[in-house]
A and B are shown apart, each in its own frame.
Chain A
Amino acid sequence: MLDLENVSKSFGGLKVIDQVSFTVRAGSRTALIGPNGAGKTTVFNLISGAYAVDQGTIRLEGGDITALPARLRIRQGIARSFQNVRLMPHLSTLENVMLGEHWRSSPFALTRSRDAVRAAEAALADAGLGTYPGQVVSTLPYGIQKRIEVVRALAAGPRLLMLDEPAAGLNTAETTELRALLERASAQGITLLVVEHDMNFVRRLCDHVVVLNFGRKIFEGTPGAVHADPGVREAYLGAQAA
């Protein structure tokens, strides 16, 4: 459903993404992995529209979205979470979640309406976060904030859910809950694209893996095959270990 074709991006003189092409099939759970600095978050920013591509095309369900302004991409069904939690610090949990569905609600509807509140509370409860609705998010623990971000992205009703290191900083119990939540989302037909360093998490959740290194794609395949690939091992462990 998502195709990147020969996408390149430079900052100043530095080529951060170099002719990257890969496909995320509809309904799949794809992981985007690679060592630090490989360009994974940059790819996310290109897909969400925060950065503009220098070369190449991005297609969503066949349609070319390369030049589409960032603000309109959520209407195409792209929602994301962030590596460093970027909730609105002065808004409550509920309000942050409601921001997710902002694009398809009417501007003068009251956020205090019973339906809106119930829907947001239900979404939070579904993720095991039911006890924090009214609290201002800046006072909440990091692990909770990270999961609220996922709920916010889900509230947008996306077709493609992009998560940037959703499990980072979570303990085992939280990670299991997160995985369960994502599996439920996937079962409802939402395509997942996840950047992660936690290989266990990737292996248990994802059915497809894309590996980046120094801005280039070095491997694309199943989680099982990733380990065997010498190129990947070299990227992570250094030339000697491969």
Chain B
Amino acid sequence: MSGYVSGILAQLAINIVIAYSVFLPAAAGLLNLGAAGFVLIGGYVAGALTLKAGVPLFVAIPLAGLAAGLVAFLVSFPILRTRGVYMVLATFAFAEIVGGVLINIPALGGAAGLSVTAYAGLPVVFSVTVLVVAFVSWLLATRFGLAMRAVHDDENVALLFGVNLRLTQVFAFTIGGALGGIGGALLVHQFNFIDVQTTGVMFSIFVLLYVLMGGTQTAWGPVAGALFFTLAPEGLRRAADLAPALKFLESSRYIVFGVAVVLVMMWRPEGLVTRTLVDRIRRA
């Protein structure tokens, strides 16, 4: 496998993990525009651990997830007091604050970012991703997963059937945060670098968009979304190489993504992968 292909696959795997971090709260009805916040926490914690404390990767990654999860848990209480557009803004504010704090820590590189030497290659990234996918699939298949999706569809009725609204949402948000942290830990060790600038507003926006595009009804949605977001630009870049007349495709790959978002929201707002689609595939 060439370095190029394995790089793309590693990027895809990391995008899948980060997609799940936004997917879980979304499946419980919470829109999270703060993915960058948890990815930054995980990336910086893991990076600091391997760089400054010589902690091995297989310990640093879970610890990063734990740290991000803890922050998510603490932050969930104020954030879950908000609703709708206020919640979107609150999660956005949270991510900005995380970035704002990290950029002011010189020991972690400050504005220039954090460079680490430990490397997580495709095997590591891939195995972690597989574990994450398995975990989320399991979670959604439990009664807790049912409660999450019930809360997403109709909070008030879920309450009348005994679902603990607050607990369900806190849990979904916390685990989402932890997964974001794991994604960040993988990211910093795959690229050997992380900084606040590139993991900022647009990062959070892109993640939310491709999670919603993929679909929030099933555990396969985030995979579809991440696939589209990672591979479509590459596909466009390859297509551009085919003929000089198609050169514009390369520089316009984000425009295509933006247009795709608008189109999907118009014609298939529940996302590419829906319950009915999965059922139909299963029955076939």
B-contacting residues of A (Cβ < 8 Å)? 48-50, 70-75, 79-80, 82, 86, 88-92, 95, 98-100, 102-103, 105-112, 134-136, 139, 152, 156
Contacts and interface: CB of A to CB of B under 8 A. Distances in A.
Nearest to A111: B146
7 contacts: A75-B162, A88-B150, A105-B143, A106-B143, A108-B144, A109-B142, A111-B142
Which of A88, A108, A134, A139 has the most chain B CB atoms inside 10 A of its CB? A88
A204 B147 CA distance: 37
Nearest to A49: B160
A67 to B, nearest CB: 16
Given A108-B144, A109-B142, A88 B154 contact: yes
A191 B164 CA distance: 26
Contacts of B161: 74, 79, 99-100, 102-103, 152, 156
The 9 closest A-B pairs by CB, nearest first: A103-B162, A88-B153, A74-B162, A107-B144, A86-B157, A108-B142, A136-B275, A71-B159, A88-B150
A91 B153 contact: yes
A107 B167 CA distance: 12
Contacts of B189: none
A50 B275 contact: no
Nearest to A108: B142
Interface of B: 141-147, 149-150, 152-154, 156-165, 217, 275-276, 279, 283
Contact of A109 (B143, B153, B279): B143
A112 B145 CA distance: 11
B158 A90 contact: no
Contact of A107 (B147, B160, B165, B275): B147
Which of B150, B157, B160 has the most chain A CB atoms inside 10 A of its CB? B160
A70 B159 contact: yes
Contact of A70 (B144, B154, B160): B160
Contact of B143 (A88, A107, A134, A135): A107
Contacts of B165: 71
Given A74-B162, A90-B217, A156-B161, A134 B279 contact: yes
Contacts of B164: 71
A80 B152 CA distance: 20
Contacts of A112: 141
Given A74-B160, A102-B161, A136-B275, 7 more contacts: A71-B165, A90-B152, A91-B153, A95-B149, A99-B158, A99-B163, A108-B144
Given A99-B150, A107-B147, A90 B157 contact: no
Contact of B157 (A73, A82, A111, A136): A82
Given A74-B162, A112-B141, A102 B147 contact: yes
Contacts of A91: 146, 149-150, 153, 275
A32 B207 CA distance: 51
Given A48-B160, A71-B164, A74-B162, A136 B279 contact: yes
Nearest to A88: B153
Contacts of B283: 134
A71 B154 contact: no
A133 B217 CA distance: 18
A98 B152 CA distance: 16
Nearest to A135: B279
B159 A88 contact: no
A101 to B, nearest CB: 9
A98 B145 CA distance: 12
A48 to B, nearest CB: 6
A106 B147 CA distance: 11
B141 to A, nearest CB: 5
B146 A102 contact: yes
Contact of A102 (B153, B163, B276): B163
Nearest to B146: A111
Contacts of B153: 88-91
Contacts of B144: 107-108
B215 to A, nearest CB: 11
Contacts of A88: 149-150, 153-154, 157-158
Given A86-B154, A90-B152, A80 B141 contact: no
B156 A50 contact: yes
A139 B276 contact: yes
Given A90-B149, A90-B275, A99-B150, A111 B143 contact: yes
Contacts of A107: 142-144, 147
